[in-house]
Chains A and B, each alone.
Chain A
Amino acid sequence: MRRNQVAVVGAAETTELGVIPNMSQIQLHADAALNAIADAGLKLSDIDGFATAVETPQQMAHYLGITPTWVDGTSVGGCSFMLHVRHAAAAIEAGLCKTVLITHAESGKSMIGKQPRFTAPDSLNGQFESPFGVYGPPSMFPIPVLRFMKTHGITHEQLAMVAVVQREWAAKNPRATMKDPITVADVLNSRMIAYPFRLLQCCLVTDGGGALILTSADRAKDFPQKPVYILGTGESVETPMVSQMKTFDSSRAFKVAGPLAFKEAGITHKDVDHLMIYDAFAHLPLYGLGDLGFMPHEETGKFIADGNTRPGGKLPLNTNGGGLSYMHSGMYGMYALQESVRQMRGIAPAQVPNAKISVCHGVGGMFAASGTIIFTNEK
């Protein structure tokens, strides 16, 4: 895809984040969509392309009252929205539509109008993972981490520091769910969830949503917000079974999606001013730093523990507080994208001064899928 041909011209989250017992899941979608429409100065009738995940495009198009000529229901977990951005950019360039709305919302905490997850007993997961006691992401996502730690020499204290540093960012963000400072000892003494991970190394469970509006770059200058251009994109999938990853030392999906985006963007790692790596659990930023090529995996734990990703550090990472401290409704990728857009607009609560390039990397399922979007505010 060509660089900087498509821009984000509308971006918003739901009016509230956290516990929202007065809204169903589809209404959370609509709340985010209406906020993004207002942000872009548009009407719903201006939307001719639509993408969403979990909820179907037909469900949300009906509820919102829109008639799209291009739809994408790619639903590969929490990074679905990175893939939507990539697909939407291609669709806009190909002339299939002009103005795309992407929505995410999840009643992850209140569970209102949300279908429960179900693994069929005759699926591969149902036959070869469920019988051994996996039960929700905390029992599955950390399964590779002990091998990762042994291979790369990562310590429990370094993995605790991921949570500590992200709380430092969250403290600067009025909308973050958890803002009180924490220490490595706090993390390592918090309640055990699935060894080696404790409560403070696992993402929050909240309600919320977000929406993006994309259009061609040549139209973007006519919108009220500062355009945020799409510089590079990548995507891939590996396996829905965490036990069947090619290796636990890295994520194949990350190693395909990330470098694709960097190549398309034509940038090097030194050019990156701001970085988001989807952190459903504390090991993900370490996988991401290594798999995206910022440094060898062996150095990732020390890099974070030494403070390089904290406020004022040389590589600001997960500046909204991340899934560990900001919010996590179940499919966090949309919130990572929202923070990248805020940073590129220059309006983030913990703004990185003069940031011009933001890399936003997402995961879906338990390393099942991946999507990477690189944004810039310079054309």
Chain B
Amino acid sequence: MAEPARAKPKPTPETQHFWDGTKAGELRLQRCDACANVYFPPRPFCPSCASRKVSVFKASGKGKLYSYVINHRPAAPGFTPPYAIAVVELDEGPRMMSNIIDCPQTPEALELDMPLEVAFEALDDKITLPLFRPAKG
């Protein structure tokens, strides 16, 4: 019997560019051509001004640790507790949920506002997740 796997996202037409991006090693965000608002999660209009003229661009992949929990129980399928569930504030402004890798999953190691950089982890040949690690340098 297969090990229980972590929940796998299923892209929709509006989010496909994001998941194509992570597979290609890019973190893609959207910017409104009318009001310059940068936003996440993906949608084909600006949630600030409602313009449908929006562009996809490659984000820097840099951000900082905004907040987190270290989950002990119950653990999600595919996760070994304790593991941190983090919210990363990207340099471009939007925040996204992720996990912090290459870092002890402890309150001492996980300092709020620590600089982070994106890392990509393939779940299969279709889906690659954007994770984050402590920024080097």
23 contacts between A and B (CB under 8 A): A119-B7, A121-B9, A121-B10, A122-B9, A126-B7, A127-B9, A127-B15, A129-B97, A131-B8, A131-B123, A132-B86, A134-B85, A138-B73, A142-B69, A147-B66, A150-B112, A191-B73, A194-B72, A195-B70, A195-B71, A196-B107, A197-B69, A243-B97
B47 smallest CB distance to A (angstroms): 10
Does B74 belong to the interface (CB within 8 Å)? yes
Residues of chain A within 8 A (CB-CB) of B70 are 192, 194-195
Does A193 belong to the interface (CB within 8 Å)? yes
- The chain A residues found within 8 Å of chain B, CB to CB, are 119-122, 124, 126-136, 138-140, 142-147, 150, 191-197, 241, 243-244, 248
Residues of chain B within 8 A (CB-CB) of A121 are 7-10
CB–CB B85/A128 < 8 A: no
- The chain B residues found within 8 Å of chain A, CB to CB, are 6-12, 15, 40-41, 66-79, 82-83, 85-87, 95-99, 107, 112, 123, 129
A151 smallest CB distance to B (angstroms): 10
A147 smallest CB distance to B (angstroms): 4
Residues of chain B within 8 A (CB-CB) of A140 are 85
Contact of A195 with B82 at beta-carbon distance under 8 Å, contacts A121-B9, A133-B76 already known: yes
Residues of chain B within 8 A (CB-CB) of A130 are 7, 9, 76
Bound-complex Cα distance A260 to B72 (A)? 38
Sample of 6 further A-B pairs with CB below 8 A, known A133-B75, A146-B69, A192-B82: A121-B7, A121-B9, A133-B76, A134-B97, A138-B73, A143-B85
> Please, which residue of chain B has its CB at the minimum distance from the CB of A248?
B67
Residues of chain A within 8 A (CB-CB) of B97 are 128-129, 132, 134, 241, 243
Task: Choose among A135, A146, A195, A197 the residue that contacts B75 (Cβ–Cβ < 8 A).
Answer: A135
CB–CB B76/A139 < 8 A: yes
For A145, A191, A194, which residue has the most chain B Cβ atoms within 10 angstroms? A194
Residues of chain A within 8 A (CB-CB) of B67 are 143-147, 248
Residues of chain B within 8 A (CB-CB) of A138 are 71, 73-74
